[in-house]
């Protein structure tokens, strides 16, 4: 008489199940959606068969006279170990991807910061250049006014009112 056994660990992933069988050193063969174990169990009338059901889960069919408790225990442990290793690897990959993304974001921010500093320096240099041009222009205007005033017989006196400079022309008449 045979029976269908539901295990505590659902064998969902075929690749994990095959790796677990290899880790347990169980010999098997694959036939379409079945994994047939080739165990030498003295009282087994039929092979142990993992068959994939309509939901994609692998279900074990075996001879009810066979005690497969130790086989299943060992297989479930290996399957869970392989599954945990896979999950840990996915987590490592996720963390590595997040680190790479954070580093890329930090590099982008750093590049933007450097561009902002360079832009600020360019603006400050431009402001200094404009201030110097204005100072030179004012100085030339002042000299031109003073020369013209002297040529007309005036004396020039500078009076500062805040930031404004006022030129007062004085003529002495006797």
64-107, pLDDT tens digit by residue? 656 677 888 888 999 999 999 999 999 999 999 999 999 999 99
Residue with tokens 């130790």: 70
pLDDT at 40: 59
CATH number of the domain residue 50 falls in: 3.30.310
CA triple 93-98-103, angle to 5 deg: 125
Q: Indicate whether 110 belongs to any domain.
A: no
Taken in order 79, 83, 88, 92, the sign of the CA dihedral is positive
Task: Report if residue 128 sits inside a domain.
Answer: no
**What confidence tens digit (pLDDT) does each residue in 13-59 have?**
889 999 999 998 888 888 888 888 876 554 556 678 888 888 888 88
Token digits for 171? Answer: 């003529």
For residue 16, what are the CA distances in angstroms to 12, 42, 51, 125? 8, 28, 15, 66
Domain residue limits at 39: 2-88
The backbone torsions φ and ψ at residue 4, rounded to the nearest 5 degrees and listed phi first, read: -110, 130
Give pLDDT, residue 10. Answer: 84
Q: Is residue 6 part of a domain?
A: yes
Count of domains forming the chain: 1
Q: Establish if 104 belongs to a structural domain.
A: no
Is 76 inside a domain boundary?
A: yes
Q: What is the pLDDT of residue 42?
A: 47
Is the pLDDT at 1 greater than 50, yes or no? no
């Amino acid at each position: 008489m045979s029976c269908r056994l539901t295990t505590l660990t659902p064998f969902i992933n075929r690749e994990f199940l095959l790796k677990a069988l290899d880790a347990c050193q169980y010999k098997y063969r694959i036939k379409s959606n079945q994994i047939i174990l080739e165990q030498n169990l003295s009282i087994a009338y039929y092979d142990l068969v993992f068959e994939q059901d309509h939901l994609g889960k692998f279900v074990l069919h075996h001879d009810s006279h066979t005690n497969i408790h130790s086989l299943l225990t060992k297989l479930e442990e290996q399957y869970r170990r392989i599954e945990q290793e896979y999950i840990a690897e996915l987590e490592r990959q996720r963390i590595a991807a997040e680190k790479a993304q954070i580093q890329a974001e930090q590099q982008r921010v750093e590049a933007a910061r450097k561009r902002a500093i360079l832009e600020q320096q360019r603006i400050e240099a431009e402001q200094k250049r404009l201030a110097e041009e204005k100072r030179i222009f004012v100085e030339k205007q002042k000299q031109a006014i003073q020369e013209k005033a002297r040529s007309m017989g005036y004396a020039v006196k500078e009076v500062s009112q805040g930031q404004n400079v006022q030129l007062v022309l004085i003529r002495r008449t006797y």
